[in-house]
Chain A
Amino acid sequence: MTNDLDIFVGNTTLIDEEVYQLWLDGYSVSEAVSQRLRAGALEQPGAGPGAGPGAVLHSDTLDHYRTCHMLERLLHAPPKLAHQLLFQIPPERQAGLIQRYYAFDEPFVRELLGKKLSKGTKKDLDDVSAKTGITLKSCRRQFDNFKRVFKAVEELRGPLVDNIQQHFLLPDRLARDYAAIVFFANSRFETGKKKLQYLSFRDFAACAQHLIQHWTLGAVDSHVDDMDVDLDKEFLQELKELKVLVADKDLLDQHKSLVCTALRGKISVYNEMETNFKNLSRGLVNIACKLTHAKDLRDFFVDLVEKFIEPCKADRWPPSDMRLFLTQYTGSAHALDAFRHQALWDRYMNTVTACLLQMYHD
């Protein structure tokens, strides 16, 4: 005897948290059933004695999967969930469902960061799936989430995080993460190089937040299209003016002596710093000058690592010393009489400092 049809519909839509997670993780019904069996679902109260092993679970799992499947359409546009009449779900449960639907695996998003959210990328997801151990189904869902959010907000005015929150009803932290993902996907920063592999999604997300806050159009004018997604082109253009800091020999020497005076006896790697100062300074300023080129902009993080972090690591700078150095390095430029781009310098250096500090770890 087989069940041709087996359904359960509650007036209040029932969704088992555990099954929802299994569904989100992309397990098939039978995989989910065996996982639940292993987790001891049948020992829970309510399973009752003699419940045919798996039969009850199978029916229950199928049913939840069906509900999830029907809900998915609404989860694609979360504000609809609150207005729809089909499923009666208490508001706090709705929020939980949305949040978990849009939650993502950090190892997965790390792989995808900076890639174009295109069909081609989607086709390659099986590699990502194999590498991360996340099911292909789940990868696709997460990818589609990124793409959906990207499409929804890329043309919108106003702050990126607010837009995401408004259109997808996500909690603050998740909305920030999505903002970072959208920002990276739009600017296509290179993150996949071997040198960058030690960096986690969290590192990049933090950097993205700094970049969005200080380097985009929205940082100067809050009424522009794409204000948070695109970098301020004018700003990038102006950055070329910083060249003088390394091109003018006097200025460079002056800058070095100012920093050295301030840091003498304060950092443990003073000698190394002194030796390397010109290289480091040249590295940072050159990065700034090249940002107008799309290719160099994409390599922003690679350059930061190559030009600054790696030399420091080689000399075993403690993070506190790096912080002191960067503060002094930024501040001392104000004392250079011949250098007139103080505001520009600060806007550049403050963000770079924040990124470097975030990225400086093993």
Chain B
Amino acid sequence: MPGKLKVKIVAGRHLPVMDRASDLTDAFVEVKFGNTTFKTDVYPKSLNPQWNSEWFKFEVDDEELQDEPLQITVLDHDTYSANDAIGKVYIDIDPLLYSEAATVISGWFPIYDTIHGIRGEINVVVKVDLFNDLNRFRQSSCGVKFFCTTSIPKCYRAVVIHGFVEELVVNEDPEYQWIDRIRTPRASNEARQRLISLMSGELQRKIGLKVLEMRGNAVVGYLQCFDLEGESGLVVRAIGTACTLDKLSSTSAFLPACNSPSKEMKEIPFNEDPNPNTHSSGPSTPLKNQTYSFSPSKSYSRQSSSSDTDLSLTPKTGMGSGSAGKEGGPFKALLRQQTQSALEQREFPFFTLTSFPPGFLVHVGGVVSARSVKLLDRIHNPDEPETRDAWWAEIRQEIKSHAKALGCHAVVGYSESTSICEEVCILSASGTAAVLNPRFLQDGTMEGCLDQRIEETSPAGCGFCHIPYDELNMPFPAHLTYCYNCRKQKVPDVLFTTIDLPVEAMVIGKGCLIQARLCRLKKKAQAEANATVISNLLPFMEYEVHTQLMNKLKLRGMNALFGLRIQISVGENMLVGLASATGVYLTALPTPGGIQIAGKTPNDGTYEQHISHMQKKINDTIAKNKEIYEINPPEIPEEIIGSPIPEPRQRSKLLRSQSESSDEVTELDLSHGKKDAFVLEIDDTDAMEDVHSLLTDAPPPPGFYSCNTEIMPGINNWTPEIQMFTSVRVSRLSNITLTNQMLNKNFNDLCENLLKSLYFKLRSMIPCCLCHVNFTVALPEDELIQVAVTAVAITFDKNQALQTSKVPAEKSLQRASTDNEEQLQFPLELCSDPLASQPFSPAKEVLESASSHTGIPAAQRVASLDKASPLAEGHARHRSVPCSTNSTVTVVKMTPLSFIPGAKITKYLGIINMFFIRETTSLREEGGVSGFLHAFIAEVFAMVRAHVAALGGNAVVSYIMKQCVFMENPNKNQAQCLVNREGPTEEESTDTCKGRKECETGDGETEVRRD
């Protein structure tokens, strides 16, 4: 019995009128935890009751503490009839179980009712006394920290990254139990809310146990999902990355020794390129113009499993990159061996993280993904969720083998998702195959800050682009060239990844959001037949999505995608695919060629004219895009190009950095002009449409940028104004005779218009960037497409940005200098930029680049964060609107990112987990479906903020909206809404704590009256 939970009910305010006669309420409160319930006295005739109760004490074990939510019910006392419920508050007490997080939860919570929404507020104080328990066989995992952030949280240092943890729990959905027919909607909703809260608590505890088993102390990149499988049950599953984290208490925590020259010296010889000779071939190899068609870069493998109900389809996508294999020389082989051994012990060498400490990623192979179509059956025994476990294990196995095929031992940026329609379910997993630095993966191999050193197997900033697979034995045909940065190793022509842009990556210009959108009609079918139809369609969907992405990438003159996320949703009569990614121009990869259009019937004059007209339009678009995104790769002066490879390359590292300027340029390829133009064949009207649709994507209006990654490449002078938002649209496809083309156009318009609306809405924030733009598509009913977007708009300082872009000649110089300032503000995210500017940097900068080259330890960068914080704050103050302090409501900032510009995370308060269901019987009064959902989402935001404020936090980071489905049934006069979110919390430098939050939202039922 190692814990005592204490709860005090202080007061209520703004309660609803429950007694029509007196226009007042006789309120009292029930406090329930587990099976114990306490009650306050009735506070008669008041809408602002002051209970000031005694401390209610619950003596419970810590397993229960982790699983159960504290349940507070506010009721109206009625002498003659049953007491009426006003509403409830569920408080997750998990944040109180960490030693270093919040010690008390105290504040105003909105009282929530599943029928009426928020009805007043209640002031509650919650405390937990934990007794130490040394029982080795305990079932609880108190103390394991959870972070939704997909990077190492800001005020921590990763000592060891242990790897993948996963768990799932299943249960029957109360909505489908027989009892649901006889109980009230409110009771049913509450049963569901409570069950899901319990299940996620249990899930978190079980994952925590696994982490403890691995000797970790935290889960980073924690991703929890709900599959509402309808009749067959309710699945709550989660994946994450187990880590051992160390708190960075202050600047002094960094060992000064780690920067000591002696250590550096030891490392340097090791870092020296071991096999200089291999490079001789590099510059001399002519890179031929090639017409490259994209199709072969993917391969589909189909598995037909023995079971009939088990239709499994797993297209694999591998986007190549990298060099190595034979070329890498002995060091690489050694590295590979180490990594292999470190990773092979694991069943799944997966990492849910999307950004890593510098040096962690050695090479990136490309995107790997797997999908599988399953038929759902009833979960018979909730304690044995083996079927679901087996399904996921199968998919993960597949991912692992794809990664192997790319010469990689690990998968990073890994995520899993499902799409369910009736009894068919598509399970998807995707990630980025990568070769990792083994030092982070093993216990005890890291000391001091050795772990944070950049592994200098290749120059920082391009190493991750080098292909990890064997050039002669490539898993798919790809077009390799020598790295444009180091000239030593091979790189692919494009790189697709699911991770964030690595901090050390060198980019030119800005990035942009690129989306591929696709609809496919599907015959209505039942069960197995349906699954077969879907399986047959999937490869074509994947192929087309990929084609679109590739075309759009080229159209923007870019050569790499980050944060790629492909979502395929299944509906009754169609499939929808939506891929979002952030395109960038990586300096290490070749300049993309243009797109060329080839007609099938070249002799027709007018046709040819048409074709050339289109070609011109495309070329113009590319030119315009290059301007918009400031993509202007450096022109190389002729004389330097002609000169032979200079000796310095083979000299030791220390010298290298000084000879950089002459070194880098020598091997640049002459043929970057029209090389390997992408050819689009226009052989029928479909293809024509495709080309047209390519050109319909409007660039964001001036002053706006957008990306779906954490930060926007090329923008680093953020100002502290942020606005997180959720926008939902449901579109009805009115035409009965739907064609694929019409569907595509409609879907495309839906997304484009949504984006346009967002830009318009946020126009007062210009210049600003929409970051972490996250689209979710669902097909709630026939002919309905629902798109939900959650993103954050962050303003940035235009002047600095302009200065950076204005004078291309001095660009690198200016950039470096602005970046230095910036580095003070956001060193961790932005330290890529000093590196990025380095290859072009003139002699002036040698000092700087030298230091970064010899491997600036990450610790140093972090240190600069602390030093810089006053500056950042000053900047923040300068721009932010003065906030009056007399307001009683704490301002809580929310963001899907892992940081808040201009603020420093001082403390993580933990995950908050919530699930809401909402239903109404007065849809008209609430303003129709839009009004209903609008109010509901606003309520959810409000409840998230209230929980954060009660924990003493003032911000939420890594907020994710994972699911948002709104269903409406006019025949039954019902509408249903389901939203699912999560995110952690943080706060600004002035206060002392930060929290994390994960919140899951609801599901509402609405009565719709139509005349």
State the A residues within 8 Å of B (CB).
1-14, 44-52, 55-57, 59-60, 62-63, 66-67, 69-70, 80, 82-88, 90-92
Evaluate contact between B938 and A9: CB separation under 8 angstroms: yes
Can you show 14 pairs from A to B with CB atoms below 8 A apart? A1-B731, A5-B728, A5-B729, A5-B930, A6-B729, A6-B930, A8-B761, A45-B702, A47-B763, A52-B756, A60-B757, A70-B934, A83-B889, A88-B889
Evaluate contact between B753 and A83: CB separation under 8 angstroms: no
Evaluate contact between B941 and A14: CB separation under 8 angstroms: no
Q: Within the complex, what minimum Cβ distance (angstroms) separates B347 from chain A?
A: 40
Chain A residue nearest in CB terms to B724: A11
Evaluate contact between A3 and B730: CB separation under 8 angstroms: yes
In the bound complex, residues from chain A placing their C-beta under 8 Å from that of B761 are 8, 14, 60, 63
Partner of A90, one of B881, B930, B943: B881
Chain B residue nearest in CB terms to A41: B760
In the bound complex, residues from chain B placing their C-beta under 8 Å from that of A51 are 756, 760
Q: Within the complex, what minimum Cβ distance (angstroms) separates A33 from chain B?
A: 13
Evaluate contact between B938 and A86: CB separation under 8 angstroms: yes
Q: Within the complex, what minimum Cβ distance (angstroms) separates A166 from chain B?
A: 15
B505 at the interface (CB under 8 A from A): no
- Interface residues in B986-1011 by Cβ distance below 8 A to A read none
- Interface residues in B873-913 by Cβ distance below 8 A to A read 881, 883-884, 886-889, 891-894
Evaluate contact between B929 and A85: CB separation under 8 angstroms: no
Evaluate contact between B753 and A48: CB separation under 8 angstroms: no
B966 at the interface (CB under 8 A from A): yes
In the bound complex, residues from chain B placing their C-beta under 8 Å from that of A83 are 13-14, 121, 888-889
Cα–Cα, bound, A4→B734 (Å): 11
Cα–Cα, bound, A6→B927 (Å): 12
Cα–Cα, bound, A59→B930 (Å): 11
Q: Give 1 or 0 for each of B743-754: 1 = CB within 8 Å of chain A CB.
A: 000100110010
Chain A residue nearest in CB terms to B885: A91
- Interface residues in B591-639 by Cβ distance below 8 A to A read none
Chain A residue nearest in CB terms to B763: A46
Known: A2-B731, A46-B703. A9 touches B725 (CB 8 A): yes
Can you name 15 extra interface pairs (CB under 8 A) apart from A48-B698, A86-B938? Answer: A3-B730, A7-B934, A8-B758, A9-B941, A10-B725, A11-B945, A47-B701, A48-B701, A59-B757, A60-B761, A66-B927, A66-B934, A70-B935, A86-B939, A88-B891
Known: A11-B893, A46-B703. A90 touches B723 (CB 8 A): no
State the B residues within 8 Å of A (CB).
13-14, 108, 110, 118, 121, 698, 700-704, 723-734, 746, 749-750, 753, 756-764, 766, 784, 786, 881, 883-884, 886-889, 891-894, 927, 929-931, 933-935, 937-939, 941-943, 945-946, 966, 968
Cα–Cα, bound, A331→B784 (Å): 83
In the bound complex, residues from chain B placing their C-beta under 8 Å from that of A62 are 930
Chain B residue nearest in CB terms to A1: B746
In the bound complex, residues from chain A placing their C-beta under 8 Å from that of B886 are 91
Cα–Cα, bound, A75→B51 (Å): 28
In the bound complex, residues from chain A placing their C-beta under 8 Å from that of B931 are 66, 69-70
Partner of B701, one of A2, A4, A46, A80: A46
Evaluate contact between A46 and B760: CB separation under 8 angstroms: yes
Evaluate contact between A55 and B753: CB separation under 8 angstroms: yes
In the bound complex, residues from chain A placing their C-beta under 8 Å from that of B930 are 5-7, 62, 66
Evaluate contact between B725 and A85: CB separation under 8 angstroms: no
Chain B residue nearest in CB terms to A10: B725
Residue with the greatest number of chain B CB neighbours at <10 A, chosen from A4, A11, A55, A80: A11
Q: Within the complex, what minimum Cβ distance (angstroms) separates B46 from chain A?
A: 16
Cα–Cα, bound, A63→B930 (Å): 9
Evaluate contact between B763 and A44: CB separation under 8 angstroms: yes
In the bound complex, residues from chain A placing their C-beta under 8 Å from that of B121 are 83, 85
Q: Within the complex, what minimum Cβ distance (angstroms) separates B706 from chain A?
A: 12
Cα–Cα, bound, A44→B759 (Å): 11
Cα–Cα, bound, A6→B759 (Å): 15
Evaluate contact between A82 and B729: CB separation under 8 angstroms: no
In the bound complex, residues from chain B placing their C-beta under 8 Å from that of A80 are 14
Partner of A91, one of B760, B884, B892: B884
Chain A residue nearest in CB terms to B793: A10
Q: Within the complex, what minimum Cβ distance (angstroms) separates B734 from chain A?
A: 6
The DSSP consensus for interface residues of chain A is mixed
Evaluate contact between A88 and B945: CB separation under 8 angstroms: yes
Evaluate contact between A1 and B750: CB separation under 8 angstroms: yes
Evaluate contact between A11 and B756: CB separation under 8 angstroms: no
Residue with the greatest number of chain A CB neighbours at <10 A, chosen from B704, B766, B884, B889: B889
Known: A46-B760, A60-B760. A85 touches B118 (CB 8 A): yes
Q: Within the complex, what minimum Cβ distance (angstroms) separates B701 from chain A?
A: 3
Cα–Cα, bound, A55→B700 (Å): 17
Evaluate contact between A4 and B784: CB separation under 8 angstroms: yes
In the bound complex, residues from chain A placing their C-beta under 8 Å from that of B704 are 46, 48
Partner of B723, one of A11, A48, A67, A86: A11
Q: Within the complex, what minimum Cβ distance (angstroms) separates B639 from chain A?
A: 43
Partner of A11, one of B700, B764, B887, B894: B894
Cα–Cα, bound, A91→B887 (Å): 7
Q: Within the complex, what minimum Cβ distance (angstroms) separates B633 from chain A?
A: 27
In the bound complex, residues from chain B placing their C-beta under 8 Å from that of A63 are 761, 934
Residue with the greatest number of chain B CB neighbours at <10 A, chosen from A2, A47, A88, A90: A88
Residue with the greatest number of chain B CB neighbours at <10 A, chosen from A3, A50, A67, A80: A3
Chain B residue nearest in CB terms to A87: B938
Cα–Cα, bound, A88→B942 (Å): 8
Residue with the greatest number of chain B CB neighbours at <10 A, chosen from A10, A45, A92: A10
Q: Within the complex, what minimum Cβ distance (angstroms) separates A193 from chain B?
A: 40
Chain A residue nearest in CB terms to B730: A5
Residue with the greatest number of chain A CB neighbours at <10 A, chosen from B727, B784, B883: B727
Evaluate contact between A85 and B732: CB separation under 8 angstroms: no
Known: A6-B930, A85-B110. A45 touches B701 (CB 8 A): yes
Evaluate contact between A7 and B760: CB separation under 8 angstroms: no
Evaluate contact between A48 and B760: CB separation under 8 angstroms: yes
In the bound complex, residues from chain A placing their C-beta under 8 Å from that of B784 are 4
Chain A residue nearest in CB terms to B700: A48
Cα–Cα, bound, A52→B728 (Å): 19
In the bound complex, residues from chain B placing their C-beta under 8 Å from that of A6 are 728-730, 930
Residue with the greatest number of chain A CB neighbours at <10 A, chosen from B704, B729, B750, B939: B729
Cα–Cα, bound, A90→B885 (Å): 11
Evaluate contact between B966 and A5: CB separation under 8 angstroms: yes
Known: A5-B730, A46-B763, A69-B931. A82 touches B888 (CB 8 A): yes
Partner of A3, one of B13, B731, B893: B731
Cα–Cα, bound, A241→B937 (Å): 68
Evaluate contact between B935 and A1: CB separation under 8 angstroms: no
Cα–Cα, bound, A88→B893 (Å): 10
Evaluate contact between B732 and A4: CB separation under 8 angstroms: yes
Evaluate contact between A1 and B732: CB separation under 8 angstroms: yes
Partner of A82, one of B726, B881, B889, B945: B889
In the bound complex, residues from chain A placing their C-beta under 8 Å from that of B698 are 48-50
Evaluate contact between A84 and B759: CB separation under 8 angstroms: no
Chain A residue nearest in CB terms to B792: A11
Partner of A46, one of B118, B753, B766, B892: B766
Evaluate contact between B14 and A3: CB separation under 8 angstroms: no
10 smallest beta-carbon distances between A and B, as pairs: A46-B763, A48-B701, A5-B730, A10-B725, A9-B937, A11-B724, A8-B727, A7-B934, A91-B884, A4-B730
Cα–Cα, bound, A69→B784 (Å): 27
Evaluate contact between A11 and B934: CB separation under 8 angstroms: no
Evaluate contact between B941 and A11: CB separation under 8 angstroms: yes
Chain A residue nearest in CB terms to B888: A83
Chain A residue nearest in CB terms to B943: A85
Q: Within the complex, what minimum Cβ distance (angstroms) separates A90 from chain B?
A: 6
Partner of A85, one of B724, B758, B786, B946: B946
Evaluate contact between B757 and A56: CB separation under 8 angstroms: yes
Known: A2-B734, A52-B753, A85-B889. A47 touches B760 (CB 8 A): yes
Evaluate contact between A70 and B734: CB separation under 8 angstroms: no
In the bound complex, residues from chain B placing their C-beta under 8 Å from that of A85 are 108, 110, 118, 121, 889, 942-943, 945-946
Q: Within the complex, what minimum Cβ distance (angstroms) separates B116 from chain A?
A: 13
